[in-house]
Amino acid sequence: MQNKKYRIKDILDKVDRDKTTLIRWEKEGLIPEAKRDSRGWRYYSKRDITNIINQVLSTDYFRNISSRSQI
């Protein structure tokens, strides 16, 4: 039985952020890097999306990232 693969859209719906924001966070190492399928599309496991959603929703860091870098 295959594990279900979740798309970046599944995360965006829960955290109210833009796709480019999540990709930037991934590049900056703030969230785990997505796995890629044979087409190069990002996908996540259920554990991955749960961890990312909890991380984003439980910290104010992600809302104030630009203001902190100016300090």
For residue 25, the domain's CATH number is 1.10.1660.10
Give the N- to C-terminal CA distance of the chain in Å, as an integer: 50
Q: Which of 16-25, 28-37, 52-61 has the lowest mean pLDDT?
A: 52-61
**Structural tokens at position 50:** 């749960």
What domain range is 19 assigned to? 6-58
Residue 48 lies in a domain: yes
Residue 69 lies in a domain: no
Q: Do the domain assignments include residue 27?
A: yes
**What pLDDT is stored for residue 60 in this prediction?**
65
State how many domains the chain has: 1
Domain-located, residue 26: yes
Report pTM.
Answer: 0.71
Task: Give the residue with greater pLDDT, 1 vs 17.
Answer: 17
CA atoms within 13 A on the CB side of 26: 18
Confirm whether 50 is domain-assigned: yes
Instruction: Read off φ and ψ for residue 55, nearest 5 degrees.
Output: -65, -45
